[in-house]
Amino acid sequence: MKKGVRYKKPPLVEALCEFRFQRTVTVPNIVLGKLYERIEKDFPTVETHRGFGVQAGKENLSPSIVMEERTRFISNDRTKLIQVGEGFLAANQLKPYKDYPSFRAFVKEVIDTYHEVAKPEGLQSIGLRYINRVEMKPDQSPDEVFNIGFTIPSNFQSSPDPFLLRMDFMYSTERDRLIVILATAQMQENSQKAITLDFDYRLVKPEEINGNLLEWMDEAHEKIEDAFHACLKESILYGYELEGE
C-alpha cells in the first residue's frame, strides 16, 4: 500500500497536534481573551475543563503529574477544537478528517495566531497524534487484523477481551518517540466490536529542531503514516476503499 493514499472510509476518529512551552510573555488570562477575539467567528463556543497533565521537569528532575485547566474553543460544526492552557496549545480535528494538507493548514493557522497573541518562549515538546477505531467482525481475532501486537499461546481458549497494549519506539536518533497503543474500544450504540489503534508521535529533544515546528510535524506525519500501513493487514487497508476507485 503506497503512502499518501486517501480512503473513502478511513478509521480515523481524531487527529491532534499539541505544543508545550516553558512560558508565555503575555499573561495567560489575557492570552485567552485576545485569542477569543481573533477566533470567535469560527470557534464561538467556550468550555473550561480540569484534568491531569504531564509537566516537564526542570533541570534533572523527572516529569510530574499536575492538575491542569484548559479552555476549549469549539467550532460551529463541533468538528474542530482549539485547546489552551498555561504554556499549552492543541489543535484537534474530529471526523470528518479531509486530508493532511487541510489539517496542517489548520494547525499552522492556530500556532501562528497563538504566537502573535501569547508570545510563547522555550519550546518543551510537540506531539502529533492520530487515533483510529478499527472495527472487527465478531469472530475476528486481533492477529487477523493487525501485523503488530502479541501472540497468544495456544493453551488460551480465546483472545483477550478487554486488553491494552502499549509499545514505545525511538526515532531520529532518539530525538523523537512513537507510542503505539492497541486497546479494546468502547462499544458505541449500534456498533460492532472495535480496537483503538492510537499513534502518538512526540518530540523528545526540542533543541534539535531549531524551531522548525511544521517541518517536524511533516516528518512526524510521514512516520505515523508508515506505521499505520505497517500495522494493518493489507486486506483491512483495502477494506477502507481508496479514493478514485
pLDDT of residue 141: 84
111 CB-near residues (< 8 Å, 6+ apart)? 19, 89, 91, 213, 214
| Alpha carbon 26 to chain centroid, angstroms | 27
pLDDT of residue 31: 95
Torsion, CA 148, CA 149, CA 153, CA 154, rounded to 10: -60
Domain-wise residue ranges, the chain: 12-238
pLDDT of residue 21: 96
Give per-residue pLDDT as tens, 177-236: 999 999 999 877 667 889 999 999 999 999 999 889 999 999 999 999 999 999 999 889
Q: Residue 227 and residue 223: Cα distance in Å, rounded?
A: 6
187 CB-near residues (< 8 Å, 6+ apart)? 193
HSE, side-chain direction, 13 A CA sphere, residue 237: 17
Give per-residue pLDDT as tens, 13-29: 999 999 999 999 999 99
pLDDT category of residue 4 using cuts at 50, 70 and 90: low
**Number of Cβ within a 10 Å radius of residue 20:** 23
Q: What is the DSSP letter of 232?
A: B
